Structure 1
Amino acid sequence: MDPLVDRFGRVHRDLRISLTDRCSLRCTYCMPEQGVPWLAKPTLLSTDELLRLTEVAVSLGIVEVRLTGGEPLLRRDLVEVVAGISSMQGVDGPVEVSMTTNALGLDMMAVPLVEAGMARVNISLDTLDRDTFVRMARRDRLDDTLEGIRAAADAGLAPVKLNTVLLRDVNDVEAPQLLAFALEHGYELRFIEQMPLDAGHTWHRESMVTGQEVLDRLRTAYHLEPVPQRGSAPAELFLVDGGPATVGVIASVSSPFCGTCDRVRLTADGQLRNCLFAAAETDLRTPLRDGAGDDELAALFRASIGAKLPGHGINEPGFLQPPRNMSAIGG
């Protein structure tokens, strides 16, 4: 089949699949401490349904699948899902499978996931201070997170990428320390601007730590040199002290990269989203369960991508935060 190309010429090759909306942490920039309305179990895609939709996406040119959540490690069939996707053949060869995780329990799962075909992981790490971790994640699990990170590296999930969200007057002073930690252990660090996707709707532009502020803080301790040819990658990379190590900044709000976006998202309950901030979704679960063929499902993929807007609109007057929060969408 022809690839997934929108009306602005963007070719979509990256599928983000949320496996669950549940999470083992309650990070303040993502979820409230309690009272989260979970997706009803009957609405969640089964293993076979998830793999069927992924196969259709791969036939349309998807070459990379990122498993997200919520927390994907909470999904009991995770290894089976990874094995099924990694066995699929895309236009460039086997589909690459990666995962975004908080690493809680990864110490027990890293080796089985590698054996199933997982290539790499992105792990959330916002602080190296225990008290700050508890303040941000509302759980005392820093040691478990660090153990999961070590296990990922030991199992060969390379490169291990660390995702950090800096919050003003909470952990923003830790930027140089976090980079030092990543450099010491050979991890790749990415700072991500806080986005208006929290369930509590507490995001305010004025309090957001911008990508430029992150760079300014890092430059108090390191020399940073931009890496050219960013392509469709969300992170702008910088060589640290001449390289080869790099640090990345994902400035989705202050410096959008929508013009090169190649990503599409499938929620745990089978809704296709052509943008992280989309107000509308395309229901794939219902036609799938009603017996739709691959051609019909492929047409729904194409219709969704065909309706994709030129940008996420965060900086436009009248922008409204999506009804779903990040844990229900999948990052």
Structure 2
Amino acid sequence: MDTNKNILQDTFGRNHTYLRISLTELCNLRCTYCMPAEGIQLSPKSHIMSYDEVYEIAKTFVDNGVTKIRLTGGEPLVRRDIDVILKKLASLPVELSMTSNAVIIDRFIEILKSCNIKNINVSLDSLNAEKFKTITRRNDFDKVYGNIMLLIKEGFNVKLNAVLIKGFNDNEIIDFIGLTKELPISVRFIEFMPFDGNKWDKAKMVSYAKIMEIVHSNFNEKQVIRIQDAPNDTSKNYTIKDYKGSFAIISSVTNPFCDSCNRIRLTANGRLKNCLFSSSESDLLTPLREGKSIEPLIQKAIQTKFKVRGGMDTLEKLEKPDLHNQNRSMITIGG
């Protein structure tokens, strides 16, 4: 292996400058598409990265070219040492952001500001309190919605992530877009994706094409404006004329964005996943604890990344449970 090369560049020429770090497998919600109904087998506490280990691994990535880090979970804010982690990572020359379910985020407004975290993605799959309770198995809609309004008031850039499931919340697409009329937010519709234990079925998926069909049945052609996507963007972005916010579609299943992918994921137990759909992982935590360099392992993991969706390059392959069930449940990967 040529160690003089950029260790974050894969065999397809993609440079991986965006690291998503899961801080915990724990969560205060139980979303059906994320966590199996029976729960999960948690990693032993001793197998979870400490705040120093999170920092050391993150620093290695930043030293090699990572410019953006997003903290995920589970719910990252349930970690007792989250304030220490935020302060340590904020010392790195990197854009720091977070994905949260916003249940308790009101307690962390000041620390988020002090660490220069401006971009917050919030998972919200329904604007209906009963549906919210059904999908999260918790009764926290009012708290979450109130905290979304608080984040906007406090000046954060807020994106709402909604996983669409046919027959459940696909009738709320226009309601979600309606939020963007007066609120400077981005609502992002995410195609239902297969992970271990979430009972994925293609028939439950609401495709990019279907979403746009619904949009165009409610707004005329001149009202729906295509926005220029950012480099390496996972979403196709739109706004409605004269609306303050925008909406987007993340079509990981029907229109994957793999050609421009710059993302890699670090699980809470210190394993590197070179793709969200990949069933293989590289243990970075054990060699780090043994005092070994993790750079060769990072390079090897990047070099073995498939061109498309962890090797599942067709919908037919995605529909085979023996392929996607080898992956983790979403909660142990990191949102």
- The two structures have a TM-score, normalised by structure 2, of 0.91
1:75-94 aligned at under 5 Å gives the runs 75-89=79-93
Distance 1:121 1:284 in 2: 27
Partner of 1:118: 117
Verify: 1:301 aligned to 2:298, yes or no. yes
Partner of 2:176: 178
> CA-to-partner distance for each residue in 1:146-182, whole Å, 9 max, x for gaps?
122122223332x111111111111110111111123
Verify: 1:161 aligned to 2:159, yes or no. yes
Q: Could you tell me how far 1:241 is from its partner in structure 2?
A: 2.0
Q: Percent identity?
A: 36
> CA-to-partner distance for each residue in 1:298-317, whole Å, 9 max, x for gaps?
22111111111101115255
Deviates more, 1:135-144 or 1:225-234: 225-234
Distance 1:246 1:131 in 2: 26
Verify: 1:23 aligned to 2:21, yes or no. no
1:1-331 aligned at under 5 Å gives the runs 2=6, 4-89=8-93, 95-157=94-156, 159-197=157-195, 199-222=196-219, 223-241=223-241, 245-292=245-292, 296-312=293-309, 313=312, 315=314, 317-319=316-318, 320-321=323-324, 322-331=326-335
Q: Could you tell me how far 1:228 is from its partner in structure 2?
A: 3.6
Distance 2:334 2:193 in 1: 13
Distance 2:265 2:298 in 1: 11
Distance 2:7 2:317 in 1: 33
Q: Could you tell me how far 1:209 is from its partner in structure 2?
A: 0.8
Q: Could you tell me how far 1:8 is from its partner in structure 2?
A: 0.3
Q: Could you tell me how far 1:32 is from its partner in structure 2?
A: 2.5
Partner of 1:92: none
Distance 1:113 1:164 in 2: 23
CA 1:166–1:15: 2 relative to 1, 3 Å: same
Distance 1:148 1:39 in 2: 30
Give the AA of the match of 1:174: E
The secondary structure found in structure 2 opposite 1:174 is helix
Give the AA of the match of 2:298: F
8 A contact 2:24–2:76 mirrored in 1? yes
The secondary structure found in structure 2 opposite 1:278 is coil
CA 1:131–1:244: 2 relative to 1, 3 Å: closer
The secondary structure found in structure 2 opposite 1:70 is coil
Q: Could you tell me how far 1:185 is from its partner in structure 2?
A: 2.0
8 A contact 1:20–1:69 mirrored in 2? yes
CA 1:228–1:113: 2 relative to 1, 3 Å: closer
Distance 1:70 1:314 in 2: 28
Q: Could you tell me how far 1:318 is from its partner in structure 2?
A: 4.2
Q: Could you tell me how far 1:230 is from its partner in structure 2?
A: 4.7
| Runs of at least 5 residues in structure 2 that lack an aligned partner in the other structure | none
Q: What is the root-mean-square deviation in Å for CA atoms of aligned residues?
A: 1.7
CA 1:275–1:160: 2 relative to 1, 3 Å: same
Deviates more, 1:59-68 or 1:112-121: 112-121
Distance 2:107 2:317 in 1: 46
Give the AA of the match of 1:80: V
Distance 1:314 1:277 in 2: 11
- The two structures have a TM-score, normalised by structure 1, of 0.92
Distance 1:152 1:160 in 2: 7
8 A contact 1:96–1:119 mirrored in 2? no
Q: Could you tell me how far 1:18 is from its partner in structure 2?
A: 0.3
Q: Could you tell me how far 1:200 is from its partner in structure 2?
A: 2.1
> CA-to-partner distance for each residue in 1:252-311, whole Å, 9 max, x for gaps?
00001101000000000000010001111111011011111xxx2122111111111101
Q: Could you tell me how far 1:227 is from its partner in structure 2?
A: 2.5
Q: How many residues align?
A: 321
| Runs of at least 5 residues in structure 1 that lack an aligned partner in the other structure | 90-94
